[in-house]
Amino acid sequence: MTAGRQQIQISVDRGYLDGTLVVPQTAIPGILFVHGWGGNQEQYMERARQAAALGCVCLTFDLTGHARTQEEQETVTRETNLNDVLAAYDTLVAHPLVDATSIAVVGSSYGGYLASIVTSLRPVRWLGLRVPALYLDEGWTLPKRALHKEHDLAAYRRRIVAPSENRALRAAAEFRGDVLLVESEHDETVPHTVLASYLQAFLQAHSLTYRVIEGADHGLSDEGSQRAYTALVVSWLAEMIGGSRAGSRGEAPELIK
């Protein structure tokens, strides 16, 4: 953690001594975890616990249509869920210990898709995406459930999509922070072409770390895959935050208007 210096004078019998107080900065990074469609905040609790041990304030939450509000899953829209993530972000940044210039957003699948869009609406320094999904821009206010009926998402995700065609990819193309992109080797929901579209979009990122979890499916249904992803994301966060504290980065990327 970086420290601030304050010049002081220490009174003694013959006058004063020159001194310097070195005081730790109280503001620390904040990390927002966004679960995927059909998930809940519990899926990120262990990762949040390990990230908190790095000296961060972490926030997990349940998107509308999940957990306590499960009954709304048939009607909730992407607009509502995006506003959920923005509200969670604002709550995290408002915490008195959080450094508003050092925010990480980590999301999986649908949560990764929303997290990418958030970078165009709020300042984000570090962005972690595991198997981020893609959806057509059309039908933004339709229930999310209806998108699978209205659009051929499987065909859409089998081709390389240009940033100009997709809101999440446009945000990715403008992002200038550090990125972690994680793919599952045997993902039948978000195929490699989707990851390739994101990789192609992140041309302006300060750094890009791309990893494939061998043998993993979309939902990380086995314990080994879960542990591998936890180790990946915590290791990456430790590297990013450690570099920041060592002074390798300046201000957080400015929000692109």
* Residue 190 CA: distances (Å) to CA of 134, 153, 215, 222, 255: 8, 10, 15, 18, 28
Domain assignment of residue 68, given as a range: 26-245
Stretches where the chain sits below pLDDT 70 are 1-3, 23-25, 248-257
What CATH code is carried by the domain that includes residue 198? 3.40.50.1820
Q: How many residues does the chain have?
A: 257
Written as six digits, the tokens of 44 are 């990120």
Is residue 140 domain-resident? Answer: yes
User: What is the distance between the terminal CA atoms of the chain, rounded to a whole angstrom?
Assistant: 31
Q: Round the average pLDDT of the chain to a whole number and report it.
A: 92
The domain total for the chain is 1
pLDDT tens digits for range 60-89: 999 999 999 999 999 999 999 999 999 999
Q: Which residue has the tokens 């980065």?
A: 249
Is residue 256 domain-resident? Answer: no
pLDDT tens digits for range 197-209: 999 999 999 999 9
Nearest to 191 by CA among 233, 228, 159, 147: 159
Is residue 161 domain-resident? Answer: yes
Q: What is the distance between the alpha carbons of residues 63 and 15, in angstroms, rounded to a whole number? A: 62
Is residue 68 domain-resident? Answer: yes
> What pTM did the predictor assign?
0.89
Is residue 187 domain-resident? Answer: yes
Is residue 2 domain-resident? Answer: no
Residue % of the chain over a pLDDT of 70: 94
